[in-house]
Amino acid sequence: MKEQIEEANGKLGILIPGLGAVATTMIAGVEAVKKGLAQPVGSLTQTGNIRLGKRTENRYPKIKDFVPLASLNDIVFGGWDVYSDNVYEAAVNAKVLELGLLQPIQSELEKIKPMKAVFDKDYVRNLDGKHVKEAATKYDLALAVMEDIENFKKENDCSRLVMVWCGSTEKYIEEADVHQNIYSFEDGLRNNDPLISPSMIYAYAAIKKGVPFANGAPNLSCDITALVDLAKELGVPIGGKDFKTGQTLMKTILAPGLHARSLGIRGWFSTNILGNRDGLVLDDPDNFKTKEVSKLGVLEDILQPELSPELYGDLYHKIRINYYPPHGDNKESWDNIDIFGWLGYPMQIKINFLCRDSILAAPIVLDLALFFDLAKRANMSGIQEWLSFYFKSPQTAPGLRPEHDIFKQLIKLQNTLRHIMGEDLITHLGLDYYQDLVESL
């Protein structure tokens, strides 16, 4: 297996629809890291270690020294946006990073100019950009994106590409007939079916060009049967949905812990305040719905109320997102969790997370780009469930329940890496450290 992984030679192009707060924070960060100005904290591929073999072997290499990933120095960036600001301007507007950090990399960032976007105001009512493609049909738009992809690859002399959707959250829709197979989908493209959203068009174009596609927003995008099948058929890795950051990250850390201890949960109230453009888009109820659905599923999967109705059967789960301009990108969440323990006695947990949304999301974009590129080179196609670790609402094989427990997700990710590199999987059994015991077993 290990021998079959293609090496990471040549340049890797990371293509991003949506050069907003998250994308520009990621790009600026990579440039700053390359210049030694800052550390890629929060990125597993850059700073994480992986244990190999037995505890006593003491083997903990960096992940990037263990699996063959693209080097930061081989990365080039491109993207699309409905506003024509270059990445420097967009980063300044996003107000995530300080000017002192952006200035030394200004020239690198200014060079990255968005291509014209595939956009449909009906999917994002609170935005109003003019830097958009015009064409008679959605199919023509898809062709235009494919052309962009090809041009970018040539102009930047890339050996490989990967695409990560960082565009705004689109309004809520559910999978429908048009999404059922590639024929109905391509018909829909040609007929301008209103149920085909811009993010689906990018995903279709990427898959058709053999470019791995990851979806950082909660809208469907590549999570429809037509595109899942197409990806498998063409051998392209895909995955989504919705970067796991902030409150949901915390929830998928904490809920497994409470569940581990068989503590009951009566209610979980989650509120968020944020003031960036993402918050503005989510202020529209249709777009909020997409996010809400993505965030709500988490607890049910982790707690499995059907197995323990006495602990989780009556759980009342409520999520609120509030647009609050004074906080800008500094999203803040407050959770009130009503738990109960021995004999039903109630207790409470309150969590106030003063986070920075894009700071948490940026390293995820980088990791996904690098791991999806690895997956491609390792001939792994279709949905990459082993990368669930990064998503609020992971895509899975049809019929499989998504795994939300971040610790199981991490083990899955690490054991997948061990597996493809021919190392033993880790079970944490460890009875062998207790020799007498083992003999007695």
Q: Which residue has the tokens 């059967």?
A: 313
428 binds a copy of itself (CB under 8 A): yes
Residues of span 93-122 touching a copy of itself by CB under 8 A: 97, 101
Nearer to a copy of itself among residue 189 and residue 413 (C-beta): 413
Sketch the per residue contact string, 193 through 212, with ligand NAD: x for CB under 6 A, - otherwise. Answer: -----x--------------
User: What is residue 91's DSSP assignment?
Assistant: H
83 binds ligand NAD (CB under 6 A): yes
- Strand, helix or coil at 71? coil
* Strand-strand pairing, 346-354 and 332-340: antiparallel
Using CB under 6 A, pick the residue from 32, 92, 118, 383 that binds ligand NAD: 118
- Strand, helix or coil at 62? strand
CB 81 within 8 A of CB 117: yes
Q: What are the beta bridge partners of residue 274?
A: 323
- Strand, helix or coil at 377? helix
Using CB under 6 A, pick the residue from 358, 393, 409, 416 that binds ligand NAD: 358
Q: Which H/E stretch holds residue 321?
A: strand 316-323
Q: What is the smallest separation between the CB atom of 190 and ligand NAD, expressed in angstroms? A: 20
Three-state SS for 252-307 is: HHHHHHHHHCCCEEEEEEEEEEECCHHHHHHCCHHHHHHHHHHHHHHHHHHHCCCC
User: How far, in whole angstroms, is CA 217 from its chain's centroid?
Assistant: 7
Nearer to a copy of itself among residue 10 and residue 430 (C-beta): 430
Q: Which stretch, 80-88, 340-348, 374-382, 421-429, contacts ligand NAD (CB under 6 A)? A: 80-88
Sketch the per residue contact string, 366 through 395, with a copy of itself: x for CB under 8 A, - otherwise. Answer: ------------xxxxxx-xx--x------
Nearer to a copy of itself among residue 80 and residue 389 (C-beta): 389
**C-alpha distance from residue 370 to each of 8, 70, 192, 293, 304 (Å):** 10, 6, 34, 28, 33
394 binds ligand NAD (CB under 6 A): no
What whole-number distance in Å separates Cα of residue 163 and Cα of residue 206? Answer: 7
236 binds ligand NAD (CB under 6 A): no
367 binds ligand NAD (CB under 6 A): no
Q: Which stretch, 71-79, 277-285, 292-300, 322-330, contacts a copy of itself (CB under 8 A)? A: 322-330
Residues of span 28-57 touching a copy of itself by CB under 8 A: 29, 32-33, 38-44, 46-49, 55-56
User: What is residue 315's DSSP assignment?
Assistant: -
Residues of span 238-297 touching a copy of itself by CB under 8 A: 249-250, 252-254, 256-258, 260-264, 266-267, 269, 271, 273
Nearer to ligand NAD among residue 45 and residue 276 (C-beta): 276
Q: Which does 69 bind (CB under 5 to 8 A by kind): Na ion, a copy of itself, ligand NAD, none?
A: none
Instruction: Give backbone dihedrals phi and psi of 165, rounded to 5 degrees, phi first.
Output: -70, 115
Q: Which bin fits 399, alpha (ψ -120 to 50), beta or left (φ > 0)?
A: left
Q: Which does 109 bind (CB under 5 to 8 A by kind): ligand NAD, a copy of itself, Na ion, none?
A: none
Q: Judge if the upstream peptide bond of residue 241 is cis by omega within 30 degrees of 0.
A: yes
Residues of span 178-207 touching a copy of itself by CB under 8 A: none
Q: Which stretch, 142-150, 151-159, 166-174, 310-318, contacts ligand NAD (CB under 6 A)? A: 166-174
Using CB under 8 A, pick the residue from 108, 148, 170, 332 that binds a copy of itself: 332
Sequence-separated (6 or more) residues with CB below 8 Å from residue 257: none
